[in-house]
Structure 1
Amino acid sequence: MTSGNSANQNPATNDKRYDAGIQVRREVMGDAFVDAALERNAGSDGEALQKHVTETVWGSVWTRDGLARRDRSLLNIGMLVALRATEELRGHVRGALENGLTRTEITEAIIHASGYCGAPAALSAMKVAQEVLVAELGPLED
């Protein structure tokens, strides 16, 4: 049994992925969101997971060529509806706005997901998205 970095992990590569990941994560989710997540987990068992997610999800997946950030945000909304991950959805709705999605596109993504994920998941997601949209954009105007 080994401890620490395994032989197949290169700490320098992980540092590069972390640096790239933290930059993208901050650009998409905002400094306040990222700082809160990191501070909430600092010195706890969750700290290692935050580092891992920053390296792998943000530093390897979000930095890939092939999809624009707005497309990744759109996909995330659908996946988070399917998973009923409403707390994570809250941050990604803000990120979707930052990445150029419109209020209508976010709403339509949730409506579209309802056909595949079910009404309860979509209703729960829309409640969270509505809170974020009103906070960020103000009430819907006719």
Structure 2
Amino acid sequence: MKSTESPAHYSGTKCSQELLRRMSLMGDVQNNSQSDLQAAHDARYEAGIRVRREVMGDEFVDAALSRNAGSDGEELQRHITATVWGSVWTREGLSRRDRSLLNIGMLVALRATEELRGHVKGALANGLTREEITEAIVHASGYCGAPAALAAMKVAQQVLVEELGSKPEDE
């Protein structure tokens, strides 16, 4: 066993000096970290609000933000915008189209029909077709159950008719 691995390593002058050095560094980090953390959060929020508007549309985002302005939900909206939209949706590895397809499946599973409404619109904006959205819900029914899929399909059909019009007869 090396001396650095023994319990004795953690006592004595050498260890105390190292501890003081690290604490000093932490103090420097703490002093700088508050402003750095705020700047990083602000940057993620700005990236998130941009992506959120591009995917969900200004009307949806404005309604979500104004509905929560001045309430307990305001901080949650800021947090979701910064973390989900500013950190997750901006990652490489999946296209926005793929992320929208995943969201439809997850929202079906969660029976989150109000969120699904906005994400169906977002999925259309991200290039998913009526058929792909419908098929995603049908596919989810096998894993999430008929009640969840039926509730989701009701919402999706409403959005699809609002956004695309009635389904053509030949489809």
Q: Same fold (TM over 0.5)?
A: yes
TM-score (norm 1): 0.94
Q: Deviations over 1:86-107 (max 9, x none)?
A: 0000000000000000000000
Aligned runs of 1:1-142 on 2, under 5 Å?
Answer: 10-141=37-168, 142=170
Aligned length: 137
Kindly report structure 1 stretches of 4+ aligned residues shifted beyond 2 Å.
none
SS of the residue aligned with 2:128? coil
TM-score (norm 2): 0.78
Q: Work out which of the two has the higher radius of gyration on C-alpha atoms and give 1 or 2.
A: 2
SS of the residue aligned with 2:157? helix
SS of the residue aligned with 2:92? coil
Structure with the higher helix share, 1 or 2: 2
- Percent of aligned pairs sharing the same letter: 80
What are the ranges of 5 or more consecutive residues in structure 1 without an aligned counterpart? 1-5
Q: Distance in 1 between matches of 2:52 and 2:91?
A: 14
| Aligned-CA RMSD value | 1.4
